[in-house]
């Protein structure tokens, strides 16, 4: 936005209203085109990482064709991923499209979890929408997971201005949640199949984690592998 304002400011006259010259208009158009081009229209190869992934050589990942990554930012109400800040900066420097996810603890307060994630993840234009990873049930979890999860998602959407992405597995989801989340982009985890099964409430997946604990050159320990649905545009998954 600062660039756009500067382009207009150069055309201001002291003796009348501001006007935009042909040169400034062309510069404005070029700026907008450049901004639009900063987010790829297609992504081919992705992975997700956390502190448990160990040391990451980001240049080697790019050399292998990885072009997007999801990074763990937080868990529950008080566990920040100690590698997140470094991973986030390095991924951005290498030009990968980045996403941040929160590991949802079913026993913890959803409002406190949302506030904690927001403190950790400063997302901006061109980043993936925020992600909630819900895949485990705590021993002290109260019945009825859908309402608190909706509370968590609503708070993230209010803060970031986009619908969050939900990460889950079909077996977990169908056993513990309901069909009221179909408007959220789905990141599904299922391995060893040709096509992932869709949980109740959705018609298709947007991101598929098709392999876990994989040996990836450039990642010290194991990593999970992901691909985007060929029918889902990148623009539908990122912050405008």
pLDDT single digits (tens) 68-117:
999 999 999 999 999 999 999 999 999 999 999 999 999 999 999 999 99
Answer yes or no: do 86 and 175 share one domain.
yes
One domain for residues 109 and 185? yes
Cβ atoms of residues 94 and 56 within 8 Å: no
pLDDT, tens only, 15-49: 333 333 444 444 444 433 444 445 667 898 999 99
56's tokens: 């990451």
Cβ-based burial of 82 (10 A; exposed 0-12, middle 13-18, buried ≥19): exposed
Number of domains in the chain: 2
**Do the Cβ atoms of 77 and 113 come closer than 8 Å?**
yes
Measured torsion, CA atoms of residues 178, 179, 184, 189, in degrees rounded to the nearest 10: 60
Q: What is the residue range of 119's domain?
A: 41-236
Residues 106 and 152 in one domain: yes
156's CB contacts (< 8 A; 6+ apart) are: 114, 117, 118, 130, 132, 164
Q: Are 107 and 163 contained in the same domain?
A: yes
Tokens of 208: 């598929």
- d(CA 166, CA 169) in angstroms, rounded, equals 10
> Other C-beta atoms within 10 Å of 132: how many?
23
**85 and 190 both lie in a single domain:** yes
- Rounded to two decimals, the pTM is 0.84
Query: How confident is the model over 117-168, as pLDDT tens digits?
Result: 999 999 999 999 999 999 999 999 999 999 999 999 999 999 999 999 999 9
């Amino acid at each position: 936005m600062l660039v756009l304002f500067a382009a207009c400011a150069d055309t201001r006259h002291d003796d009348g209203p501001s006007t935009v010259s042909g040169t400034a208009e062309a510069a404005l158009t070029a700026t907008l085109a450049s901004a639009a081009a900063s987010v790829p229209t297609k992504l081919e190869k992705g992975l997700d990482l956390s502190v448990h992934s160990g040391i990451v050589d980001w240049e080697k990942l790019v050399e292998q064709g990885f072009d997007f990554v999801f990074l763990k930012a937080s868990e529950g109400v008080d566990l920040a991923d100690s590698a997140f800040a470094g991973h986030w900066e390095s991924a951005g420097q290498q030009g990968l499209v980045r996403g941040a996810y929160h590991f949802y603890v079913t026993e913890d307060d959803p409002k406190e979890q949302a506030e904690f994630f927001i403190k950790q993840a400063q997302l901006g234009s061109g980043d993936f929408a925020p992600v909630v990873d819900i895949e485990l049930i705590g021993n002290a979890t109260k019945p009825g997971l859908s309402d608190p999860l909706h509370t968590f998602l609503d708070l993230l959407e209010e803060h970031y201005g986009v619908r969050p992405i939900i990460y889950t597995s079909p077996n977990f989801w169908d056993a513990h949640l309901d069909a009221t989340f179909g408007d959220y982009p789905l990141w599904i985890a299922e391995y060893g199949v040709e096509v992932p099964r869709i949980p109740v409430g959705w018609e298709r997946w947007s991101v598929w984690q098709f392999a876990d604990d994989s040996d990836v050159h450039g990642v010290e320990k194991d990593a999970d592998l992901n691909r985007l649905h060929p029918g889902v545009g990148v623009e539908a998954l990122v912050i405008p």
